[in-house]
Amino acid sequence: MRAVSCVLVAAVLWGTVGPAQIWAGTGAHPVSLGAARMLVGGAVLAALMVRPAGLRTLRLPGVRRWVAVGVVVTAAFQVCFLQAVERCGAALATAVAFGTVPAVSGVCGRLLRGERPPGRWVAGTVCALAGIALMLLPGAGGRADVLGVVYGVVAGASFGVYIAATGELGARGADVGAAAPVSVLGAGLLVSPFLVFAPEGVVTSRGLVLVGWLGLGTTALGYLLFTRAVGRLSAATVGTLSLTEPLVATVLGVVLLGERPGPLASAGAALLLGGLVAVSVPGRRRPVKGSRPQPAGG
């Protein structure tokens, strides 16, 4: 349950990204904003978590390619997610993105590690996806944009692959605590040219405050909690727990941004919460003689 709590807190922090982006109203290009967020957050994470011994583990056979995958999908997530928020709004973009995560992370866990998602994951994911489908229906209160939805799906798929890549790094003996800062900082450097070509809105007072929150609160602290817990839970469970993010984004959209979801969206949020409860509560298992107890996440 400690690992579950860490993932949930990280998801709550990540759920503030879209609302903060809209509420600040800096006018910054989403990709430039994402680059600044990753450079600040990655630098802080590196100072807190990276040690020479940990970096050496990232050069082990079979590890380097997963480090590269982590960098690419982290960059893809930032680029696509912030653009989805700009086009669709905080609640809808976050719902689309993280509605994609459990399916992708569960499939990756099955293909890469042979994980069999527990029954609670299936039930929780079905509830969560049904809730997101309700939020996307006409009249649910969102402003659907086709390209924005595509950006959201790609962002969610990227995060699902990141979850699986993190698990693969840990399984191959890599220091996951060192891999996270490398992924975030590397992704920031990968898209940093946008800061040169589109710096508007980033270097203003409001822009700097927004970058500070996104870099320190949602990236540094969020990834710190996430990396400490992800290795103790199955990829499928982590993906479904991450659905806390759209729930938080929806609540903040109502409270801070004046978004007023209709009855369908409210029912969708309730289904999302039901899915989270289903996957978070540890099931009771009868111990088998000679076997070791399994983690709560399955």
pLDDT tens figures, 242-252: 667 777 887 88
CB within 8 A of 75, min separation 6: which ones? Answer: 38, 186, 187, 188, 190, 191
Residue 134 to residue 250: CA distance in whole angstroms: 13
pLDDT at residue 288 in the model: 39
pLDDT at residue 210 in the model: 93
Q: What is the pLDDT of residues 219-232, one digit of tens each?
A: 899 888 887 776 67
Residue 288 to residue 18: CA distance in whole angstroms: 46
Residue 53 to residue 173: CA distance in whole angstroms: 12
Task: 145-150: list long-range contacts, CB under 8 Å, 24+ apart.
Answer: 145/87, 145/88, 147/87, 148/83, 148/84, 148/86, 148/87, 148/88, 148/92, 148/93, 149/84, 149/88, 149/96
Structure tokens at 198: 């589109």
Q: Quote the distance between the C-alpha of residue 62 and its chain's center.
A: 25
- Residue segments in the chain with a per-residue pLDDT below the cut of 50: 285-298
